[in-house]
Amino acid sequence: MSKQSNANSFSESIQSKPGKPYPLGATYDGQGVNFTLFSENATAVYLCLYDSADPSHETARIPLAERTDLVWHIYLDGLQPGQLYGFRVDGSYEPQAGHFFNPNKLLLDPYAKAINAPVNHQDSWLAYDYKKPTSSEDGSDEYLVMSQEDSGPTMPKSVVVDTAFDWEDDTAPAIPLHRSIIYEMHVKGLTHLHPTIDEAIRGTYAGLGTPEVTDYLKKLGVTAVELLPVHQFTDESYWGYNSIGFFAPQNTYSSSGMAGQQVVEFKQMVKNLHKAGIEVILDVVYNHTAEGNQLGPLLSFKGIDNRIYYHQVGDSPEYYMDYTGTGNTFNLSHPRVLQLVMDSLRYWVTDMHVDGFRFDLASALIRTDEEFGSVSSFLDTVAQDPILAQVKLIAEPWDIQSYHVGGFPVRWSEWNGKYRDTLRGFWKGDDGKAAETATRLLGSPDLYAADGRSPGNSVNLITAHDGFTLNDLVSYNDKHNEANGEDNRDGSNDNMSWNCGAEGPTDDPAINDLRERQKRNFLATMLLSQGTPMIVMGDECGRTQHGNNNGYNQDSEISWMDWHWNEKQQALFEFTSQLTALRQAIPLLSRRRFFGSEQVAYLLADGGEMTADDLNNPNTHCLALFIDGLRVSEQTEDGQDIGDEQLIWILNAYWEDIPFMLPKIGRKSSSWEVVVDTFAGQVNPNSTPTQGGKPFTVPARSSILLRLK
C-alpha cells in the first residue's frame, strides 16, 4: 500500500470537529488542535499530518470541509504539541492568470509558530515541471506545465507549538527612544567564535542569552540589540532577508532542537536580555518572501493564494511587481495580508516579548499598485494598534525604486540615510558638507520637526550590516567582494569611503594612526549627536570584512565577530564604552525635543557666530556647536532637570590644526575642560582647563567636546 493510501485510511480514525475559523494557524488548547487556513480562490484544502519520527512519512490527509469567511478550518481531538503538519491547496493552475494551485505540493502554514527543518531549496518544491516548458498553440507565449511530483517527503513541516512559558517577572525595559543606544547584530555572527561560551550553544539564541554576552553589552553601554532577521528564512542568505515564516523563529539558531524547542530558547534569550536591562528589536522582512518570482518555489503563500498575497503586473498577473529586488512584493493592500502581518507583529510582542521592530525596505510595505503615499492602511493600522503603540517602530525608508527619508508619519522612527551620507562626506573632507552636517548633528529637524516627531525618531548610523564596517570605511576606497563569487560585481560602488592613503592593511604608522582617529571621529559624532545612535556589531572594536561591503552570503569569518583583539581594538572598545556612558550621564546630549535657535549656535574659530554664508561656504570644514543648557527647560523621565551644562563641540575635518578662540561666558574666570578628545582617544582626560578668551588648538581631523567649568 502506498504512503498516500496509508494516510487516507488513517485519517478515518481521527476524531474531528468543525472547529473555528479563528485564530488562524494551529492552536493547541490542551485537548486537541484547531487548524485554520485562509484562501479566497482555493477549491479545496487538505490538512496533512506527518510522523515526527519520520518527517517524510505522511500519516493522514484530511479534507477541510468547513469554510467561514474564506477561512478553511477543522478541529482534531487528541493531537499534541510537536505534531508535524502542512497544507495542500487545490484550485486553478493557470500561471498566465496568476494562479499556481498545485495539491502535489505541501505548503507551510503562514501562521506556523515553528518549522521543523532548514528550508533549503529542492526542485520538487517548484509548482511547474522545470524539464517541460511548453509554448502556447500560436507560439506567442510560453507557460509552465504543472508538476506532478509530491514535495511532501522533502518539504519542511509546520509544528504544533504549546505557547506556554514561565516568564516569571519579565518586564520590558521600556527605555525611551531618545535614551536608547542600538546595537545591530547577527545572532550567529556575534557568538560563533566566542572563546568562553560553551561550543554547543555558540551562534544560537542560547549563546546570545549567556552572561558573557549580556555583560559585554552592558559594558559597551548599549540599551537594545537589533537582531538581523530571525523569522524563518531560506538558505540563500546568511543575513536572513528571505523570510518564509513570519511567526517562526529561525530554527538553525536553536541549540535545543527544531520541533518547537526554538520557540522556548528564543523566549529564554529575551528573558535573559531583559534581566540585563537590554531590549530586543527585530529586523523584520514583510516586504517580500522567499518564494521569488513566477519561477520560484511553492513554499506557502504562492500555493495558498498567489493572487491575494503578492502584487502582480496588472495585465500580466503571471508576473510580479518587484519593488524589492527579490522577485516579488508582499501585498499589504489586501486586508487579509495586512491582518497576517499585524498578527505576526502582535505575536512577537505579546508571546515573545520583543520590544520593537526595524522594517526592511519599509517603502515597499506601504505601496499600493500606485505610488508611495505618506498614509497607507499599513501605517494607519500600526499607528492605531494599542499593543504596537508600546514598542519601537523603525523604518528603513527606501526600497529599490524610492527614497523617503523623513517621509514616514508620527510614531515611526527611521534609519537616517542622510545622516550617514552627510557625516561620511564631512569626515572624508568633501567640500560643501558643513551646512547639512550642522543640521544632522541636531537630530535632523528639517526631516522630523514639522510633523510632531522628535530627535529620537532619527536613528543615526554611520554603517550597517550592508556596506563597509567602520574599520573598512577608513581603510578602503573600493569594495573587495571577490569572496562572494560574483566577480566583485555585487555590492555598492558608491561607499563614500576614504582609505587614508593606502588600500587595505598597511605598515605605515601615520596612516594607521589617522584611521584610528577617523574611527573615533565617527563614533564620537554619532554618540554625541541628537537622535538615536546605532552601533553595528564589531565597529566598537574595529571588526574588518577585508573590504567586503556585501557579506549577505558570508557565513564565514568574513562576517563573524573575532574576539581576539589587539591593543588598538581594545582601546577602541574602551573609548566607545566611555562615550556611551558619557551620553547617558549628560541628558543634554539626548533630548526629547529639538533645540531652539536661542539654545544653540555655531561658532567661528575667532569666537564669533557663524552666518548662513559661513555654513554654506564649500570650503568650510570645521564646525563648533555651542549648546547653552541654561536656556533649556526640560525634565528627564524621572522628573529631574535635564541639566545646565554649557558645551562646545568642535569637529575639525580640516587636514590642519585650527587655533580656536574659546568664548568667555559671563564669568571673568570661566574655563573650559576637555570632555572628549578623539585625537588623544580619551574621554574625561586629566587635562588642564583653558580659560575663556584664549586660543585652544584643535588638531587636524579630530573632534573635541568641552564643558564650561
**Percent of the chain with pLDDT strictly greater than 70:** 95
pLDDT at residue 6 greater than cutoff 50: no
Q: State the pLDDT at residue 401.
A: 79
The string of pLDDT tens digits covering residues 246-264 is 999 999 999 999 999 999 9
Average pLDDT over residues 228-257: 96
pLDDT at residue 166 greater than cutoff 60: yes
Question: Cell 535614551 identifies what position?
Answer: 179
Dist. CA 624–CA 696, nearest whole Å: 12
Confidence class for position 134, pLDDT limits 50, 70, 90: low
The string of pLDDT tens digits covering residues 558-586 is 999 999 999 999 999 999 999 999 999 99
Dist. CA 521–CA 429, nearest whole Å: 13
Neighbouring CB atoms inside 10 A of 508's CB total: 12
Q: State the pLDDT at residue 9.
A: 44
Dist. CA 313–CA 489, nearest whole Å: 29
DSSP per-residue string spanning 73-126: EEEEET--TT-EEEEEEES-EEGGGTEE--TTS-B--TT-S-BSS-B---GGGB
Q: State the pLDDT at residue 142.
A: 60
CA-to-CA separations, 491 to 358, 396, 424, 480, 646, in angstroms, rounded? 22, 18, 18, 9, 44
Average pLDDT over residues 430-442: 98
Residue 264 CA neighbour count, 13 Å, CB half: 14
Q: State the pLDDT at residue 11.
A: 56
* Weakest mean pLDDT among 18-32, 423-437, 631-645: 631-645
Average pLDDT over residues 422-437: 98
Torsion of CA 181, 184, 187, 189, to 10 degrees: -120
Dist. CA 464–CA 14, nearest whole Å: 52
Q: State the pLDDT at residue 375.
A: 43
DSSP per-residue string spanning 178-204: GG--EEEE-HHHHHTT-SSS-GGGTTS
Task: With CA atoms as reference, report the closest residue to 543 among 192, 37, 88, 190.
Answer: 190
The string of pLDDT tens digits covering residues 274-307 is 999 999 999 999 999 999 999 999 999 999 999 9
Q: State the pLDDT at residue 669.
A: 63
Dist. CA 586–CA 643, nearest whole Å: 8
Beta strands 142-146 and 128-135 are antiparallel
Confidence class for position 137, pLDDT limits 50, 70, 90: low
Q: State the pLDDT at residue 667.
A: 61
Looking at per-residue confidence, does 277 or 644 come out higher?
Answer: 277
Confidence class for position 524, pLDDT limits 50, 70, 90: very high
Average pLDDT over residues 624-646: 92
pLDDT at residue 372 greater than cutoff 50: no
Q: State the pLDDT at residue 194.
A: 98
pLDDT at residue 374 greater than cutoff 70: no
Confidence class for position 132, pLDDT limits 50, 70, 90: confident
Confidence class for position 670, pLDDT limits 50, 70, 90: confident
Name the H helices within 276-390: 301-309, 335-350, 362-365, 377-384
639-666 burial, b for 16+ CB within 10 Å, e for fewer? Answer: eeebbebbbbbbbbbbeeebebbbbbee
The string of pLDDT tens digits covering residues 322-341 is 988 899 999 998 999 999 99
Q: State the pLDDT at residue 373.
A: 45
Angle between helices 261-275 and 211-220 (to 10 degrees): 40
Which stretches of 349-476 are assigned E, i.e. beta strand? 356-359, 392-395, 413-415, 458-461
146 forms bridges with which residues in the sheet?
A: 128
Dist. CA 358–CA 360, nearest whole Å: 6
Task: With CA atoms as reference, report the closest residue to 167 among 379, 32, 350, 375.
Answer: 350
Dist. CA 524–CA 222, nearest whole Å: 14
Neighbouring CB atoms inside 10 A of 626's CB total: 20
| Domains detected in the chain | 6-160 (2.60.40.10), 180-587 (3.20.20.80), 596-708 (2.60.40.1180)
Mean pLDDT, the chain, as a whole number? 94
Q: State the pLDDT at residue 706.
A: 97
238 Cβ contact partners less than 8 Å away, ≥ 6 residues apart: 186, 188, 551, 552, 553, 554, 555, 559
Residues marked active site are found at: 360, 396
Dist. CA 482–CA 502, nearest whole Å: 19
pLDDT at residue 49 greater than cutoff 80: yes
Task: With CA atoms as reference, report the closest residue to 235 among 223, 252, 221, 218.
Answer: 252
pLDDT at residue 140 greater than cutoff 60: no
Q: State the pLDDT at residue 368.
A: 60
Strand, helix or coil at 686? coil
556 Cβ contact partners less than 8 Å away, ≥ 6 residues apart: 483
pLDDT at residue 4 greater than cutoff 70: no
Task: With CA atoms as reference, report the closest residue to 367 among 431, 439, 288.
Answer: 288
The string of pLDDT tens digits covering residues 442-474 is 999 999 999 999 999 999 999 999 999 999 999
CA-to-CA separations, 187 to 192, 229, 681, in angstroms, rounded? 9, 9, 30
pLDDT at residue 587 greater than cutoff 90: yes
pLDDT at residue 476 greater than cutoff 90: yes
**Percent of the chain with pLDDT strictly greater than 90:** 87
